[in-house]
Chains A and B, each alone.
Chain A
Amino acid sequence: MKFNKKSPWILHYDGSSCNGCDIEVLACLTPLFDVERFGAINTGNPKHADILLITGSINEQNVSVVQQLYEQMPHPKAVVAVGACACTGGIFKECYNVLGGAQAAIPVDIFVAGCAARPEAIIDGVVKALDKLK
């Protein structure tokens, strides 16, 4: 039995976005969606996390922050880019200080499309990311 699939602890980081995806990530914790059904916890501590959820685009200022968070997470770990901005840079792509999506900083395992991404899609992305935890 693979226990790491039954207990995904999530770290959520917002790059630079309109906060729409962040609100949807938090919506996953509410009674309507309740990700704790799958044992998922929003940890807020990279050292306890299994899955890094990134919303928003990566810019010159936060690229080092995202890389550090990723390095602090112990193996096995997976990265989920949530929303158009985290996937490609989205509407902010042409901005002078934006480098692009989450992949500009760290390797991404799962891309969740949407603007904003729906809670169902985010949960689906997390569940798919569990297969990447080895």
Chain B
Amino acid sequence: MTWVLSVLQVLGILIFVPIIGGLLTGVDRIISARMQSRKGPPLLQPFYDVFKLLKKEATTVNHATGYFVTGSVLFNILTVVLFCMGVDLLLCIFAFTLGCVLFVLAGYSSHSPYSFVGSERELIQIMCYEPMILIMAFGYYRVVESFNVGDAFTQNAPAIVKLPLIFLGLVYVLTIKLRKSPFDLSMSHHGHQEIVKGITTELTGTSLALLEISHWFETVFALGLVYLFFVYSAPFSWAVAAAICLVVFFLEIIIDNGFARVKWKFALTSSWIVIIVTGGANLMYLSLF
């Protein structure tokens, strides 16, 4: 009977995660609009956009693009499913990275100069955040003594107690993964023109809709990493961790609205400095004490 439970669990994840991700995006757009003293779109606007895109004509420059986009979406979904099932964190990170690489290939395959620029910037962005996510996994292992996501729920204290600096570093690079300004170099989710739209420039209809859904999964995974820092054996910590995820998301929206887009060199150097300082200091502390 355990496999029936697992199948139900996966189905639940596949249904609820996009709903949560879509609602978060809707809330993001409303809060952003209110910060600019506008009324903003309805809460369900991201869902309207996706359903509209699914019905639109698909014009593909290269058929390979569709396969790469689909692959990218599937691996992002797999990442979240693995994460929510509480398996190995490293496996989640590798599946996530593969999804990102397929996304870069989707940009390269469309033969558009704008997509090329987007893909190259996306590769730089992967360079920016990937070391931090791996350092987070190492730190997590040092504290929990296991890479399993589920083991965070059996600890006596939340991981943040021993990993405060790694948490700060992770929040810095999450801005990249949530595709927020000042680090939305390769693909902005705001209405923009070619260079800023980057990889999505040549994507239409279904591909664009799938990419939007993929971003919802990415958002949930990014906030899931934040969740891991605050959860431990006490049941009330589950709610506290979820609340802190929302606070971090709100902080990212403020940053998104408050900063201009930076150049790639600043994105790269600043994130590496943050990673080396926060990650290095925290790992050193863990190995000494």
- A residues sitting closer than 8 Å to B (CB atoms) are 3-4, 6-7, 9, 31, 34, 36-39, 41-45, 47-48, 50, 72, 74-76
Contact = CB atoms under 8 A, between A and B. Distances in A.
B191 interface: yes
B59 interface: yes
A31 B204 contact: no
Nearest to B58: A74
Contacts of B29: 36
B197 interface: yes
B52 A43 contact: no
B48 A45 contact: no
A37 B58 contact: no
Interface of B: 29, 33, 36-42, 45, 48-49, 51-52, 55-59, 191-194, 197, 200-205, 208
Contacts of B203: 47
Nearest to A9: B191
Given A4-B52, A39-B42, A31 B191 contact: no
Given A7-B45, A75-B57, A31 B37 contact: yes
Contacts of A3: 48, 51-52, 55
A76 B203 CA distance: 16
B38 A74 contact: no
A45 B201 contact: yes
Contacts, number: 75
A50 B49 CA distance: 11
A75 B53 CA distance: 11
Contacts of A47: 59, 201-204
Given A9-B191, A36-B40, A43-B191, 13 more contacts: A4-B55, A6-B52, A31-B36, A37-B39, A42-B191, A43-B192, A44-B191, A45-B192, A47-B59, A48-B197, A50-B52, A50-B56, A75-B57
17 contacts: A4-B52, A6-B42, A36-B29, A36-B33, A36-B38, A36-B41, A39-B49, A45-B201, A47-B203, A47-B204, A48-B197, A48-B200, A50-B52, A72-B59, A74-B56, A74-B59, A76-B57
A10 to B, nearest CB: 8
Contacts of B208: 48
Given A44-B193, A74-B57, A74-B205, A7 B52 contact: yes
A4 B57 CA distance: 12
A4 B204 CA distance: 14
Closest 4 CB pairs of A and B: A44-B193, A41-B191, A74-B57, A3-B51
Contacts of B33: 34, 36
A6 B41 CA distance: 10
Among A48, A50, A74, residue most surrounded by chain B Cβ atoms (within 10 Å):
A48
A31 B33 CA distance: 9
